[in-house]
Amino acid sequence: MASSNVPGAHVFDGVRIADFAWVGVGPNATMQMAFHGAEVIRVESSNRPDTFRNGGPRPPGVNSLDASAYFAKFNRGKRSVAINLAHPRGAEVATRLIATADIVTESFAPGFMQRIGLSYEDVRKIKPDVIMCSMSMEGQTGPHAGFRGFGLTLQATAGVTGVTGWPDRNPVGTGVAYTDWVATHLGIIGILSALDHRRRTGEGQYIDLSQLEASTLVLDAGVIDAANTGRVAQPLGNRDLRHAPQGVYACADDHTGGDRWVAIAITNDDQWHRLALLMDRQDWIESDELCHAAGRLAAQDALDEGVERWTSTQTVSEVEQILQAIGIPAHRASNVRDAHEDPQLAHRNHWWTSDHPVIGTMSYESPAWRLSDTPPPMPRRSPLLGEDSEYVYRELCGYSEEEFKQLIVEGVVE
């Protein structure tokens, strides 16, 4: 790897990743490394396109596999090579690519890479110091290793849907594939750990990431509590077992076209006292029961009504500013447009604009962390499917022009 103190260098300059992963976890992990200099070769095929290539948003009426902004979101900074792994010669091409790579990533169901001759044992014969990271749903071994799943089903498996929603209603998901974005970052940590190990020892490693195991981290202390006391955490809506009042409260319409809400969390007695003074609730201040968290927890319904009477007379911006000014945690319940227009994110240049020949100009997230000496450059746009095939087949894999043409005819470059 290039030294980070070389002017203009980036921390992963010189690192090549043969990226067989698809959908969310693997592609997001390798994209974060591409932002910081890694050459990521995304292995794809129109024979079995990435799920996200069929997703949206996309330009109206455009059905091309290259039209998905969802796919583009997680594949900026990469190259795309078309390799039909279902073809008998597909593994041959993949083997040549792997021979040039430092890292191999994949997120297929356990057994697939073995069946096509690209298991870790296979690839380390090609490249002894290679690092391989598998990011399957529940890990490579165990009674459920072969289970299939997606965002909602993995949330259910991990226990997330057991604690989201409201106590008197059916379990609900989080609205997005929440667990994917936890597993992503643990995958990156695993790869970085293996890279450091190789730097020190010259040895590669195999990383078996279980998205299920990663997802249990979002359960807070619930699993520990259940294991040690037998208590099973239940959905609480917006409430908390330790803090009150806590909730999302309606505010006056602030001319944005609809109702707005503010999230408020009172986490200690001092904040509670300031809130009561602000709302001119002398009865709250003088109450012996409400001076401690236990009493406030017992009186949450009445407290929620009192807080909402106050918030409903002001706009969400006014509530947010007033409470933040006196040290009370409060923030508008943002919708997705609010998130894109957030002044803090704008200040940090969080949204990067990318121009794509099919999708057009769109804004996407930048890395959430900044390196002082080697800030990431603006990445190249997401690749068209197979856009870099000739570069990969000829320059990296060593096929002649005639051999490349023949592979196209045979249906390997597909």
User: Can you point out the beta strands (E) in 52-174?
Assistant: 78-82, 103-106, 131-136
Cα 364 from Cα 91, distance rounded (Å) = 34
Q: Which of 99, 103, 100, 107 has the alpha carbon at shortest distance from 208?
A: 107
Residue with tokens 């997230």: 365
Evaluated on CA atoms 215, 220, 222, 228, the torsion sign reads: positive
Cα 74 from Cα 23, distance rounded (Å) = 9
15 class by beta-carbon count within 10 Å (0-12 exposed, 13-18 middle, 19+ buried): buried
Q: What is the H or E stretch that residue 355 is in?
A: strand 351-356
CB 89 within 8 A of CB 407: yes
Q: Which residues, including other chains, have CB under 8 Å from residue 378's CB and lie 6 or more apart? A: 352
**DSSP per-residue codes, 206-219:** EEEEEHHHHHGGGG
The 206-210 sheet, strands edge to edge: 78-82, 39-44, 16-19, 103-106, 131-136, 206-210
Q: Which residues, including other chains, have CB under 8 Å from residue 62's CB and lie 6 or more apart? A: 358
Which residue is catalytic, options 50, 66, 180, 304? 180
Q: What is the H or E stretch that residue 17 is in?
A: strand 16-19
208 included as an active-site residue = no
Bond into 329 cis (ω within 30): no
Cite the active site residues: 180
